[in-house]
């Protein structure tokens, strides 16, 4: 059940609302798409008609949609997330690129030059790396952020980087423009709630073993916490065939768009694990309607500390952007 409110409520008004709830149930108050809302699960509400009698309630929407904010329940049109001057989800294709892990200033510089040459929109690089093995490189951490800060200042480009704990929000704050939630933390609600409060743009990756519904319920945590700057990122699905550890399913894009208004970026690098397939996935994603792509680029792929098998060289990335331009125009989307 969603109550559309005439105004932001004071504590007395909240108390009036909540007396209608069952034990252990509660209202979530938030502003969404310029409206004040109070949301509670339907099943817990004792008396629905009473809400309409309250002077501060404008409308009652009865719904049991599991993710009313992320879905089209309250918002039909596509959302655009603003990052500085950049609009993600609008008529222009968004291109994000950079190395998987921050290694050295020289490495970041080499990629940044390519990035600028191709008019790429966002620079990506990871300082904190969630790795399958505890014995492998876990990222440069805070030192990596310092290296990233230099890139940001020199090239005036927005930066995206993965965040793995609430206490990092502060140190990311003046350097990182988009906070990335990795696949493994997709259902780390403790982290999601903290990023919701931060209000900063968040890119939420789908875990390759989770369904669209599970993913959008994680996005709902961000929206319900008051953060509308949510960007989705599709990075492939697990399969049942041991020869195919990861699949990029082109059909998913239309289904995602049917289920949410949030902008969608595709990560071809993780959707394959094989650099020779990155280009074809990126092109397919744009043909299928993705709002952007997020590509791993390294000046010397063979020496990359992480993701060496899937990262593109700077030359391959330049060549890819040329083809992306052709394909995005065929698909009715501006490239630059």
The dihedral formed by the CA atoms of 52, 66, 270 and 168, expressed in degrees to the nearest 10: 60
Give the count of residues interacting with a copy of itself (CB under 8 A): 76
Instruction: Kindly state the smallest distance separating residue 85's Cβ from a copy of itself, in Å.
Output: 30
Among 71, 198, 272, 321, binds a copy of itself (CB under 8 A): 272
CB of 223 to a copy of itself, least distance (A): 9
Site for a copy of itself in 200-219 (CB under 8 A): 207, 209-214, 217
197 φψ region: left (φ > 0), alpha (ψ -120 to 50), beta (else): alpha
Query: DSSP string of 74-131?
Result: S--SPP-EEETTEEESSSBPEEEEE-SB---HHHHHHHHHHHHHTT-SEEE-BSS---
Q: What residues form DSSP beta bridges with 270?
A: none
Write the interaction track for a copy of itself spanning residues 104-143; mark x where CB under 8 A is met and - where it is not: --------------------------xxxxxxxx------
Q: Shortest approach of a copy of itself to residue 197 CB, angstroms?
A: 13
Answer yes or no: are the C-beta atoms of 102 and 139 closer than 8 Å. yes
| Alpha-carbon torsion angle 105, 106, 107, 112, nearest 10 | 90
Q: Does 164 bind a copy of itself (CB under 8 A)?
A: yes
Which of 6, 165, 197, 334 forms a contact with a copy of itself (CB under 8 A)?
Answer: 165
Q: Taking CB under 8 A as the criterion, which residues in 247-266 touch a copy of itself?
A: 247-252, 254-255, 259
Q: In the complex, what is the shortest distance from the CB of residue 76 to a copy of itself, in angstroms, rounded to a whole number?
A: 19
Assess 62 for contact with a copy of itself (CB under 8 A): no
From the list 53-61, 106-114, 154-162, 275-283, the region that binds a copy of itself by CB under 8 A is 275-283
Which residue lies nearer to a copy of itself by CB, 85 or 241? 241
Residues 6+ apart with CB under 8 A from 260: 67, 70, 71, 72, 216, 219, 232
Q: Which of residues 15-34 bind a copy of itself (CB under 8 A)?
A: 23-26, 28
H/E stretch holding 219: helix 212-224
CA–CA dist 90, 78 (Å, integer): 8
Interface with a copy of itself (CB under 8 A), residue from 94, 188, 275, 328: 188
Closest separation in Å from C-beta 44 to a copy of itself: 8
Whole-angstrom Cα distance, residue 156 to residue 172? 16
Residue number with CB closer to a copy of itself (80 or 246) = 246
Instruction: Check residue 181 for interaction with a copy of itself (CB under 8 A).
Output: no
d(CA 88, CA 121): 10
Residues 143, 239, 309, 329: which binds a copy of itself (CB under 8 A)?
A: 239
**Shortest Å, Cβ 204 to a copy of itself:** 14
């Amino acid at each position: 059940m969603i109550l559309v409110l005439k105004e932001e409520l004071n504590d007395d008004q909240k108390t009036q609302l909540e007396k209608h709830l069952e034990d252990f149930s509660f209202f979530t108050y938030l502003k969404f798409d310029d409206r004040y809302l109070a949301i509670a699960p339907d099943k817990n509400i004792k008396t629905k008609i009473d809400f309409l009698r309250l002077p501060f309630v404008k409308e009652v929407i009865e719904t049991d949609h599991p993710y009313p904010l992320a879905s089209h329940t309250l918002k039909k049109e596509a959302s655009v997330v603003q990052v500085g001057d950049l609009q993600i989800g609008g008529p222009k294709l968004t291109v994000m690129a950079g190395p998987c892990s921050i290694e050295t200033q020289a490495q970041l510089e080499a990629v940044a030059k390519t990035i600028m040459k191709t008019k790429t929109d966002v620079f990506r690089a990871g300082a904190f790396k969630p790795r399958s093995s505890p014995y492998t490189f876990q990222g440069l951490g805070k030192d990596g952020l310092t290296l990233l800060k230099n890139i940001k200042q020199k090239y005036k480009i927005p930066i995206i980087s993965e965040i793995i704990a609430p206490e990092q929000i502060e140190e990311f704050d003046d350097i990182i423009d988009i906070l990335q939630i990795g696949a493994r933390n997709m259902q780390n609600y403790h982290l999601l709630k903290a990023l919701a409060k931060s209000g900063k743009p968040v890119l939420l990756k789908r875990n390759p073993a989770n369904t669209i519904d599970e993913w959008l319920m994680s996005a709902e945590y961000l929206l319900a916490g008051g953060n509308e700057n949510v960007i989705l990122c599709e990075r492939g699905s697990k399969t049942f065939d041991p020869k195919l550890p990861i699949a990029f399913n082109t059909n998913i894009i239309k289904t995602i768009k049917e289920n949410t208004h949030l902008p969608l970026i595709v990560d071809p690098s993780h959707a394959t694990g094989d650099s020779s397939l990155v280009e074809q996935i990126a092109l397919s994603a744009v043909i299928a309607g993705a709002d952007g792509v997020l590509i791993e680029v390294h000046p010397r792929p063979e020496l990359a500390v992480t993701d060496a098998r899937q990262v593109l060289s700077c030359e391959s990335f330049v060549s890819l952007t040329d083809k992306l331009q052709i394909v995005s125009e065929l698909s009715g989307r501006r490239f630059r």
